[in-house]
């Protein structure tokens, strides 16, 4: 029991609301937002620390003191706190990048409140221990994302975000339907209680259908094959800071939910459910990367790569061994950091060249070596080149799949790795190599450094995640062992 658990949710919610009142004063907004984001990060890290040092490594809070499973319960286990920390890191970085890049008109129109509301929803989704409450947090997150993705209201944004909204609404509707079925069969909505009751029911019959429905719902949020159609074009529209936040975080909330539900509740027919997950993982990786290979636009390539990499995370769940899940968790951490960094580099590049089309760029390595090399490190990390973070996470996944004798997925994962490298090389070769194509530079040295400053911590993180892979991997393994034994969670929540 700790009220501290509410802070990652309540802090951004209140800050968002306060910021509405200062909408016209953008300097004050920045100060408040910056400090709040940093303190949110502090809160997240502290929460992670107290959970890690707690004997059971799970801390719960019954909201309004209504006992579980009747009231809403917040559950901070190692997985959830890790995700909260990651979201806070990206939250800080993208915010500081936004300070440097976004237009003051956006700041006047509640950019920062929406930003913090989005974080409210994301953090809540990680921390909640109640299926219906998860739905509500998804709504908070999605409604903020709807606004942020259309923020600015250009023709392109209006057209593409309409599709984004409609597809997500349909998925949300199915979420409600699935919740209704779940309640009809088990009579509860608390995740721990659900875990227990589904176990008693031996996950028979229709419960599997409901599991598949949840897979569909979270798969649509997490951009799994063949449910990812909303993603590539809608992420292209908003400013880089938002694309980076979305690219890093949003789909991962869906993936988090899939992993949570399919390690805690629906774990009694893994032969069936997790095989389907593995197949979807392969399709997601493969078709996602094909999209990236076909594109010649910085941001579009990155958008398609989100899809292919989501596949790797789900692959870890599909293989379903401690090592595989540890790999998936490592991958999530790696991906959130690197993907956000890459989107921000796309933004910085766009600021210099005025475009995201690769064929209009060239020779940036000569004029902006720092940008070039920092991008290169992140790109290689994404492609899984050792010893950066992408390598170790991918390697754990591949090793686990080989051990489980799932050779097909290994082949897919490796082929996708090569194609990832190919498309990352493509960006590097077009944008950074070759002859400079822009006549006048819009960004001087000092401004360039100001742009890069927020991104550098992410690049440092991806390097550290590689070189100090042992502690990170130990932590991931700890997370994976914790979530693979649902009893930990159930006992912590229901107090047995």
Taking Cα atoms as reference points, which of 15, 62, 58 lies closest to residue 40? 15
Q: How far is it, in rounded angstroms, from Cα 258 to Cα 262?
A: 6
Q: Which of 48, 91, 222, 232 binds another protein (CB under 8 A)?
A: 232
Cβ closest to another protein, residue 121 vs residue 486: 121
* CB atoms closer than 10 angstroms to residue 125: 27
Q: How far is the CB of 77 from another protein (least distance, A)?
A: 19
What is the SS3 assignment for 472? helix
Q: Which of residues 20 and 42 has its CB atom nearest to another protein in the complex?
A: 20
Residue 464 sits in the site that holds another protein (CB under 8 A): no
**Residue 312 interacting with another protein (CB under 8 A):** no
How far apart are alpha carbons 366 and 381 in whole angstroms?
A: 22
Residue 143 CA: distances (Å) to CA of 131, 132, 133, 165, 481:
18, 17, 15, 9, 34
Q: How far is the CB of 326 from another protein (least distance, A)?
A: 9
SS (H, E, C) 288-334: HHHHHHHCCEHHHHHHHHHHHHHHHHHHHHHHCCHHHHHHHHHHHHH
**Helix axes 369-383 and 456-467, enclosed angle (nearest 10):** 40
Do 302 and 246 form a contact (C-beta atoms < 8 A)?
no
CA dist., res. 187 & res. 11, Å (int): 33
| Local structure of 153: helix, strand or coil | coil
Assess 319 for contact with another protein (CB under 8 A): no
Does 294 engage in binding with another protein (CB under 8 A)?
yes
Which one, of 408, 385, 379, lies nearest residue 283 by Cα?
408
Minimum Å gap between C-beta 158 and another protein is 9
Binding of another protein at residue 449 (CB under 8 A)? no
Coil/strand/helix, residue 76: strand
Interface residue with another protein, options 3, 49, 204, 495 (CB under 8 A): 204
Q: Pick left, alpha or beta for residue 462 (phi over 0 → left; psi -120 to 50 → alpha; otherwise beta).
A: alpha
Q: CB of residue 209 vs another protein: minimum separation in angstroms?
A: 5
**Residue 153 interacts with another protein (CB under 8 A): yes or no:** yes
Q: Is the peptide bond prior to 387 cis by the omega test (within 30 degrees of 0)?
A: yes
H or E stretch including 73?
Answer: strand 73-76
Considering only residues 325, 358, 396, 455, which one is a binding residue for another protein as defined by CB under 8 A? 396
Q: Which of 91, 222, 254, 417 binds another protein (CB under 8 A)?
A: 417
347 binding another protein? (CB under 8 A): yes
**Does 7 contact another protein by CB under 8 A?**
no
Contact in structure between 381 and 388 (CB atoms under 8 Å): yes
Pick the closer one to another protein by CB: 136 or 464: 136
- The separation between CA 146 and the C-alpha centre of its own chain, rounded to angstroms, equals 16
Of positions 152, 247, 248, 282, contacts another protein by CB under 8 A: 152
Measure CA of the first residue to CA of the last residue in the chain; give whole Å.
Answer: 14
Q: Is 494 in the site for another protein (CB under 8 A)?
A: no
**Interface with another protein includes 133 (CB under 8 A)?**
yes
* Span 253-272, contacts to another protein by CB under 8 A: 269, 272
Identity of the residue, 280 or 483, whose beta carbon is nearer to another protein in the bound complex? 280
Q: What is the full DSSP assignment across 105-116?
A: HHHHTTHHHHHH
**CA angle in degrees (0–180, nearest 5) for 46-95-331:** 60
For another protein, which residue of 1, 28, 42, 209 counts as binding (CB under 8 A)? 209
Which 91-130 residues touch another protein, going by CB under 8 A? 101-103, 105-106, 109-110, 113-114, 117, 120, 124
State which of residues 380, 382, 431, 492 lies at the interface with another protein (CB under 8 A).
Answer: 380
Q: Which residue from 29, 57, 81, 157 is in contact with another protein, where contact means CB under 8 A?
A: 157
Select from 35-43, 77-85, 313-321, 412-420 the region that touches another protein (CB under 8 A): 412-420
CB-nearer residue toward another protein: 52 or 442: 442
CA gap 235, 250 in Å, rounded:
11
Q: Considering only residues 1, 20, 169, 176, which one is a binding residue for another protein as defined by CB under 8 A?
A: 20
Q: Min. distance of Cβ 114 from another protein in angstroms?
A: 7
Nearer to another protein, 38 or 421 (CB): 421
Is residue 137 a contact point for another protein (CB under 8 A)? Answer: yes
Name which of 81 and 393 has its Cβ closer to another protein.
393
As beta bridge partners, residue 190 has 130
Site for another protein in 27-56 (CB under 8 A): none
Binding to another protein by residue 410, rule CB under 8 A? yes
**Nearest-approach distance from CB 141 to another protein, in angstroms:** 10
Q: Which of residues 68-87 bind another protein (CB under 8 A)?
A: 69-72
């Amino acid at each position: 029991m700790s009220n501290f658990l509410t802070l990652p949710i309540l802090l951004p919610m209140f800050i968002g609301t306060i910021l509405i009142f200062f909408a016209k004063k953008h300097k004050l907004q920045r100060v408040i937002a910056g400090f709040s984001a940093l303190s949110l990060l502090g809160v997240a890290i502290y929460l992670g620390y107290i959970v890690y040092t707690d004997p059971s490594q799970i801390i719960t809070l019954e909201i309004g003191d209504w006992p579980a499973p009747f009231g809403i319960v917040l559950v901070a286990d190692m997985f959830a706190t890790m995700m909260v920390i990651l979201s806070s890191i990206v939250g800080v970085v993208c915010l500081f990048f936004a300070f440097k890049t976004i237009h003051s008109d956006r700041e006047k129109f509640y950019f920062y409140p929406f930003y913090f509301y989005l974080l409210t929803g994301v953090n809540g989704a990680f921390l909640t221990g109640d299926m219906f409450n998860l739905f509500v947090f998804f709504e908070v997150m999605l409604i903020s994302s709807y606004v942020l993705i259309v923020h600015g209201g250009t023709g392109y944004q209006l057209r593409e975000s309409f599709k984004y909204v409609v597809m997500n609404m349909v998925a949300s509707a199915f979420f409600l339907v699935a919740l209704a079925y779940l309640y009809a069969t088990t009579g509860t909505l608390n995740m721990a209680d659900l875990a227990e009751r589904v176990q008693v029911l031996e996950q028979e019959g229709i419960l599997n259908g409901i599991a598949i429905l949840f897979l569909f719902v979270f798969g649509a949020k997490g951009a799994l094959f063949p449910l990812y159609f909303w993603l590539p074009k809608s992420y292209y529209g908003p400013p880089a800071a938002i694309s980076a936040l979305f690219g890093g975080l949003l789909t991962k909330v869906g993936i988090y939910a899939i992993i949570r539900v399919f390690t805690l509740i629906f774990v009694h027919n893994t032969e069936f459910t997790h095989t389907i997950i593995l197949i979807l993982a392969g399709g997601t990786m493969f078709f996602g990367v094909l999209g990236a290979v076909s594109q010649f636009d910085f941001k579009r390539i990155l958008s398609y790569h989100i899809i292919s990499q989501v596949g790797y995370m789900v692959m870890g769940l599909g293989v379903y061994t401690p090592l595989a899940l540890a790999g998936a968790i490592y991958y999530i951490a790696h991906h959130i950091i690197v993907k956000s960094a890459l989107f921000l580099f796309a933004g910085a590049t766009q600021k210099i060249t005025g475009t995201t089309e690769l064929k209009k760029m060239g020779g940036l390595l000569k004029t902006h070596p720092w940008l070039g090399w920092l991008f290169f490190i992140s790109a290689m990390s994404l492609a899984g080149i050792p010893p950066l973070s992408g390598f170790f996470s991918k390697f754990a996944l591949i090793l686990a799949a080989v051990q489980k004798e799932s050779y097909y997925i290994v082949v897919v994962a490796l082929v996708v790795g090569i194609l990832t490298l190919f498309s990352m090389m493509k960006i590097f070769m077009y944008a950074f190599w070759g002859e400079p194509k822009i006549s006048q530079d819009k960004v001087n040295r000092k401004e360039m450094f100001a742009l890069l400053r927020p991104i550098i911590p992410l690049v440092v993180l991806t390097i550290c995640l590689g070189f100090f892979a042992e502690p990170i991997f130990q932590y991931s393994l700890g997370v994976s062992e914790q979530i693979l034994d649902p009893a930990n969670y159930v006992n912590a929540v229901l107090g047995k």
